Amino acid sequence: MKKLFFIVLILGFVFTANAQKGSKVLNLGLGFAGSTIPVYIGLDYYFKNEVSLGGEIGWRRYNETWKHKDYHRDLYNFLFNANYHFSKLLELPKDWDLYAGLNVGFYYWNDNIDYDGYEEDHTSGLGLGAQLGVRYYFNSKFAINLEFNGGNQVSNGKIGISIKF
């Protein structure tokens, strides 16, 4: 599994290295996923006006007490995404960025239970998913974003800010 993670990581750097001539967008925000609030940070590279490749790191934690014992589960997500931006095709106003795409990533779960005799449990794996999102730019550099995900291990969606540079 570690080999697969590093192959995906290297492929992500190869693809994004070709995209650095275009715009870059930094994304920060919070996700929505049941009873916890995930956080994320990501960076997208536009190598064409309609196509971007990027990466994202996400984290969320469950905290629970059961039978007077504390239970914590941390989930980390490292993913690469590819998006097609529909604004030009749909002739949307320049303030709007509507996009959809696919993502592939690596996730890692870590359980920590305050329970005598219980050892920490952890697992990891490959995650595949899709996303549909929209950004609204207040000016040429700053936007809010909303995205819905399927297959993402950290959140089912997210809301945040985007900064173009």
3-state SS string for 27-39: EEEEEEECCECCE
pLDDT of residue 16: 38
pLDDT for 71: 74
- Residue-averaged pLDDT of the chain: 81
**Predicted pLDDT at 118:** 59
Residue 107: predicted pLDDT: 86
Domains of the chain with CATH codes = 2-164 (2.40.160.20)
Query: 119: which DSSP letter?
Result: P
pLDDT value, residue 18: 33
**What is the predicted pLDDT for the residue at 54?**
96
Which residue in this structure is represented by tokens 């490959």? Answer: 126
Report whether 127 contacts 9 (CB < 8 A). Answer: no
Count of all residues that appear for the chain in the document: 165
pLDDT at 156: 81
Q: Decide if 60 contacts 30 (C-beta within 8 A).
A: no
Which regions in the chain score pLDDT beneath 70?
A: 1-21, 113-122, 152-155
Predicted local confidence at residue 8, as pLDDT = 47
CB-count burial class (<10 Å; 0-12, 13-18, 19+) for 18: exposed
Q: Given the structure tokens 């490292």, which residue do they identify?
A: 78
